[in-house]
Structure 1
Amino acid sequence: MSNKIGEMAWLDLTVDNASEIKDFYQRVIGWQVEDVAMGEHNDYVMKSPDSGEAISGICHATGGNAGMPATWLPYFLVEDINNAVANVTELGGELLTEIKQVGKDSYVMVKDPAGAVCSLYQKG
């Protein structure tokens, strides 16, 4: 993940059939797959075949991911998520989720005034 404000910190794809789709990208792109236990199912970290570095995630559209769009979703690193959320709404954007916590980190999915969707991510 990036540590620089403004850069893409992560890239996720959330779909109903994550197990099949991770196989698709593994064969098409050549990514290595690491299972991530999520209770009753696994989500997947997709890794570079050369460096083993985590490139993206492919997740099941269940639980906290229910209702996520079936599209690649970039997570952009922000310094202050509350300030970023205030700016989203002030500038005509829309919050698609509440701010969510992952450990000490926070993220929120937003839609810009043109309708494009991304997530904002703050490291804790």
Structure 2
Amino acid sequence: MSNLLFSVRSSSSDEVYTLEAYRTGKGMRFSCTCPAGQVGSSCKHRMALLVGDVSSAIDVDEAAVADLRTMAEGSPILTAIEEIAAAEHEVERAKKALNGAKKRLGKAMMG
């Protein structure tokens, strides 16, 4: 499998970013030219493609998206994405619990 290239549109501007994935000795490298990607942070563009979300992709090549997922299998990247998804779920659960507690407090304060 050779290098995989993707183009995606920014959600906040007319910018188009290039994403490139290739195998390395440690698994894979997946880069993005967006501001977050350029400083080594995770970015929503790479995460989206890895989970099959092509909504911001330009000229989607479904085979390349499938190849990307195959390339990522066994790498720490998918594990980290699963950890992020679980943590985001917990944050949402905690927000709902907090809002409920605040409402109960408000009612209790009204006598």
Considering Cα pairs closer than 8 Å and 6+ residues apart, tell me whether 1 or 2 has the greater RCO: 1
Report if TM-score (shorter chain) is over 0.5.
Answer: no
Higher strand share: 1
Q: Choose 1 or 2 for highest CA Rg.
A: 2
TM-score by length of 2: 0.26
TM-score by length of 1: 0.24
